[in-house]
Amino acid sequence: MADEPNLEYFWPPREENVLIGKDIQRIDGIAKATGRAKYSSDINTPGTLFAKLLTSNQAAAKIKMLNIEPAKKVPGVRAVYVFPSAYDIATGESKEIRWDGAPIVAVAADRPEIAADGVRAIEIEYEPLPFFVDEEDLAGAEKAQEETGIERVKSLGDNTEGDVESALSEAAVVHKGYYGIHTISHCCLEPHGSHCEWDGNDKLEVHLSTQNVSGTPGQFAGPLGLEQTAVHVQGHYEGGGFGSKFAADEWDLACAEMAKTTGKPVRLMLDRATELKIAGTRPSGFIDVTIAADAEGNIIAWDSHHWGTSGMAGGTVTLGKIPYVFDFANRNRKATGLVCNTGPNRAWRAPPHPQLCALTMTAMDDLAAKLEMDSYDLFMKNLPNVSKGIDDRIDVYAEQMKIAAEMIDWKAKWHPHGKGGGEGAVKRGLGMALHTWGGGAGPCTCLLKVHPDGSVETFLGSQDLGTGTRTVIAIVMAETFGLTLDDVKVNLGSSRYPKSGASGGSITVGGVSSTHRMAAQKALRQIFNLVAAKYDVKADTLAAKGGQILSDGKPVCSWKQAAGLVGPMPLEVQGETTREGLTSATVGGVQMVEVSVNTETGVIRINDFVCVQDCGLIIDELTARSQVLGGMIMGISYALTEERIMDSHTGRYLNADLENYKLPRIGDIGNLRVKMYQPASEYNRGVVGLGEPPVISPGAAISNAVANATGVRVPVLPLTPQRVLDALQKGGAA
């Protein structure tokens, strides 16, 4: 830990920080707001061709006939590429098309509309095959499997702890419930895609919208038959990446191939419909659960079977993590995967915790209602049942619950489910949920340079997804050298820079901050030694603050003078992820929300939504809070409006647009309040990642608040007016 004396690298004492832990705006904010920042989708080097895709309008099919010649004849079309995953153009052999939106042909042309003309000119005929897309319908999947002989249901295992049957027979209260959460699609503002440009036939320059700058050159090189040294991937600004942008995708390879055949740069970004259909989804989960407690509210048994889909892979929400955050002495669990003709899943922010939370904490909340207990008291009472591995966070959860309850005035506002009274059709209710995440530091390396003129810069093959990675790095360097943010420069987003891990799993901030603290401390010690020799002071008395080098608090020289001592060439040091002393892992977090439900229309509004979140040492509190707010907003989205709607008749993705794929707007997100939980014990843990945790609890918390408001559980997320009214009608409340 940081307060242990013999560590080589450590954070400054909290009270001495000038920048760390303060509210600091993103250093690239102005560049982004003014358009100076160039995203991959902005790259438009001279002669760039624009590509469009022909995608499948079938859920399952073989291609009977494909004729790309008419596309080639469209004036301005420069390249036509047939995806090998769909069709072998040499032999005329069709592969199996397995979902709506699967790419079949790419066309590159002088202008986007000419590429679209080219796509339109392609002749294609399909031979439809049987499909299944109804992810909630386990019985339907079994029936389809029986009827067609095509695998639709996969057993994903089961396991048991203790003796559920005896526990249920001894329980004071037993609750049986059904809950669910539908598949959603990744919705990055900047869709997936790239700009590819060749230098001759053996060097490829790629601007890729990616979470994985250092890891993707090889993914281009292999399939293209290049040496990895021949591929340079850049991603300086990303328009969002939530787990779906780790790879060089087949459409990126198509882009590179077309750039090669035409000898011109090509840009291929997915259109919105294709983006929603094939660029990654979050698996669904539906659960039958029995949960039981003793008369005091101690939960003693859990028995569940859940199912859902991740697409053709036939996965669902991970079996081994349910129930979520908590585990109970007597527990059965079983999972079944449905094989659906839907676009494949990709990691979606905190996989698969939002679903686990929504399937677990709703059942716990209904159990509390059955016990006639305040939900808060049930969660608090069961903190001793927090799962092994995170049980050292029990006291933190208890503290966070108290803070959140005070913020939202839980005890004054809470009422038994459906007993809030209130005027007219609009009912108010409170709900809560807890979450956890790892967030340990990911791999990172950097090359940090202190130039003789005192300027400082770093190079690393990481990426800033928009969350403030650049800013965090700059803060760490500036704090360590006693400089301002303007004095340090961050160079990232190139695969030629020292390798850095992919940004996923909330591991980036721990990686980049510890790497740069290490590198900066190394460099500073070398400079202190030079200063000590030159000015005849002891190196261990020196500190860098306010652009000066101080000895026991007295100025010795300026930073620039000190930097000049390195000689005519820059001082270069390397840094790497340093877990000991600088970072830690595992966070908790609590969210509480108050909603209004219009029981006449089924429309829900968020009134007040609070989050208390720990994440160890906070480098930039402003961007930390922004991360949490972003998570809460994404959570409101999948809780209330956002879902993929598959058509059981055509097998198509019906709402693959941003009109019917409903994302919340400003007016839908209510009053959000964030409290970063940061007592000294958190600071002393070092840095822990924060990206995932705040998106986990909203589904369960909002569902619980709606149940509290109306007295009726709306079992499946998102809580659309349709589901709310159907539940109210079924529950006799409408």
Tell whether residue 641 is a contact of other proteins (CB under 8 A): yes
**Of 225, 659, 680, 732, which lies in the binding site for other proteins, with binding defined by CB under 8 A?**
659
Q: How far is the CB of 413 from other proteins (least distance, A)?
A: 18
Any idea what DSSP says for residue 379?
H
User: CB count, 10 Å around CB of 134?
Assistant: 17
**Based on CB atoms, which residue is closest to other proteins, 59 or 557?**
59
DSSP code at position 326: B
**Is 671 an interacting residue with respect to other proteins (CB under 8 A)?**
no
Which region among 67-75, 149-157, 550-558, 644-652 touches other proteins (by CB under 8 A)?
Answer: 644-652
Pick between residue 54 and residue 378 the one whose CB is nearest to other proteins. 54
Minimum CB distance to other proteins smaller for 80 or for 728 = 728
Q: Does residue 725 bind other proteins (CB under 8 A)?
A: yes
Cα–Cα dist 395/397, whole Å = 5
Of the residues 453, 649, 680, 732, which one makes contact with other proteins according to CB under 8 A: 649
CA dist 235 and 502 (Å) reads 12
Host H or E run for residue 517: helix 508-535
The nearest distance, CB 57 to other proteins, in angstroms, is 8
Selected range binding other proteins among 153-161, 183-191, 467-475, 596-604, rule: CB under 8 A: 596-604
Q: Is the peptide bond before 555 cis (omega within 30 degrees of 0)?
A: no
Cross-strand pairs, 447 = 459, 574
Give the C-alpha distances (Å, rounded to integers) separating 629 from 4, 492, 612, 669.
Answer: 34, 25, 11, 10
Q: Which residue lies nearer to other proteins by CB, 50 or 528?
A: 50
Q: Does 318 bind other proteins (CB under 8 A)?
A: no
- Pick the binder of other proteins from 285, 504, 602, 711 (CB under 8 A): 602
Only one of the segments 322-330, 349-357, 671-679, 717-725 lies at the binding site for other proteins (rule: CB under 8 A); that segment is: 717-725
Q: Which stretch binds other proteins (CB under 8 A): 113-121, 203-211, 363-371, 381-389?
A: 113-121
Tell me whether residue 185 or residue 463 sits nearer to other proteins (CB atom). Answer: 185
**Which position among 210, 596, 627, 704 is part of the footprint of other proteins (CB under 8 A)?**
596
Of 67 and 601, nearer to other proteins (C-beta) is 601
- Give the per-residue contact string, 49-68, with other proteins (x = CB under 8 A; - = no): --------x-----------
Cis, bond preceding 718 (omega within 30 deg of 0)? yes
Check residue 666 for interaction with other proteins (CB under 8 A). Answer: yes
Task: Compare residues 93 and 113 and give the one whose CB is closer to other proteins.
Answer: 113
Cα 501 versus chain centre, distance = 15
Please work out the total of residues on this chain that contact other proteins, with binding judged by CB under 8 A: 40
Does residue 729 bind other proteins (CB under 8 A)?
yes
- Pairwise CA distance, residues 429 & 82, whole Å: 54
Residues 250-309 contacting other proteins, CB under 8 A: none
Record the tokens describing residue 590, joined without a space.
């609590």
Q: Which is nearer to other proteins, 122 or 450 (CB)?
A: 122
**Residue 654 binds other proteins, judged by CB under 8 A:** yes
Separation of alpha carbons 410 and 432, rounded Å: 10
Whether the Cβ atoms of residue 655 and residue 644 lie closer than 8 Å to each other: yes
CA distance 515 to 476: 10
- Binding test (CB under 8 A) with other proteins, winner from 7, 221, 403, 734: 734
Candidate ranges 116-124, 354-362, 411-419, 494-502; the one touching other proteins (CB under 8 A): 116-124
The residue from 113, 127, 170, 199 that contacts other proteins (CB under 8 A) is 113
Of 652, 673, 675, 685, the one binding other proteins by CB under 8 A? 652
Residue where the block lists tokens 């020292």: 498
Do residues 291 and 364 lie in contact, with contact meaning Cβ atoms separated by under 8 Å? yes
> Which range of residues in 80-88, 177-185, 296-304, 659-667 is near other proteins by CB under 8 A?
659-667
- Give the C-alpha separation, 699 to 115, whole Å: 41
44: Cβ contacts below 8 Å, ≥ 6 apart: 195, 267
Distances (CA, A) of 614 to 2, 384, 590, 688: 18, 19, 9, 9
From residue 188 to residue 227, the character string flagging contacts with other proteins as x (rule: CB under 8 A) and all else as - is ----------------------------------------
- Strand 231-234 versus strand 123-128 pairing type: unpaired
* Closer residue to other proteins (CB): 356 or 606: 606
In angstroms, the Cα distances linking 403 to 27, 78, 397, 610, 674 are: 32, 62, 10, 10, 11
Is residue 404 within 8 A of residue 432, CB to CB? The reply is yes
* Residue 664 sits in the site that holds other proteins (CB under 8 A): yes
Rounded Cα distance, 114 and 195, in Å: 18
Joined tokens for residue 2: 């940081």
DSSP 437: B
Rg (CA), the chain: 28
CA gap 408, 558 in Å, rounded: 50
> Cα separation of 472 and 481, whole Å?
14
Residue 114 C-beta: closest distance to other proteins, Å? 10
Q: What are the residues whose beta carbons fall under 8 Å from the beta carbon of 217, sequence distance 6 or more?
A: 206, 228, 231, 232, 233, 495
- For other proteins, the binding residues in 403-442 under the rule CB under 8 A are 425-426
Q: What is the 3-state secondary structure (H, E, C) of 60-106?
A: CEEEEEEECHHHHHCCCEEEEEECCCCEECCCCEECCECCCCCEEEE
Residue with Cβ nearer other proteins (306 or 652):
652
**Residue 498 DSSP SS3:** coil
Which residues 6+ apart lie within 8 Å of 122 measured at CB?
Answer: 54, 66, 67, 68, 70, 71, 80, 105, 107
The residue within the footprint of other proteins, chosen from 200, 660, 680, 732 (CB under 8 A), is 660
Q: Which of 38, 370, 605, 676 binds other proteins (CB under 8 A)?
A: 605
Cα–Cα distance measured from residue 59 to residue 137, given in angstroms and rounded to the nearest whole number: 17
Q: Look at residue 716 and give its three-state secondary structure.
A: strand
Q: Is there binding between residue 668 and other proteins (CB under 8 A)?
A: yes
Residue 508 interacting with other proteins (CB under 8 A): no
601 binding other proteins? (CB under 8 A): yes
471 touches other proteins by CB under 8 A: no
Q: Are 204 and 234 in contact (CB under 8 A)?
A: no
If one asks whether residue 662 binds other proteins (CB under 8 A), the answer comes out as yes
Minimum distance of other proteins from residue 593's CB (angstroms): 16
66-76 burial code (b ≥16 CB/10 A, e <16): bebeebeebee
If one asks whether residue 645 binds other proteins (CB under 8 A), the answer comes out as yes
650 contributes a contact to other proteins by CB under 8 A: yes
Q: Does 598 bind other proteins (CB under 8 A)?
A: yes
When binding is defined by CB under 8 A, the residue of 169, 600, 671, 730 that contacts other proteins is 600
Closest to other proteins by CB, 239 vs 651, is 651
Site for other proteins (CB under 8 A): which residue of 451, 647, 681, 731?
647
User: Is 6 near other proteins (CB under 8 A)?
Assistant: no
Query: Which residues are at the interface with other proteins (CB under 8 A)?
Result: 57, 113, 116-117, 120, 425-426, 596, 598, 600-603, 605, 640-641, 645, 647-650, 652, 654-655, 657, 659-660, 662, 664-668, 720-722, 725-726, 729, 734
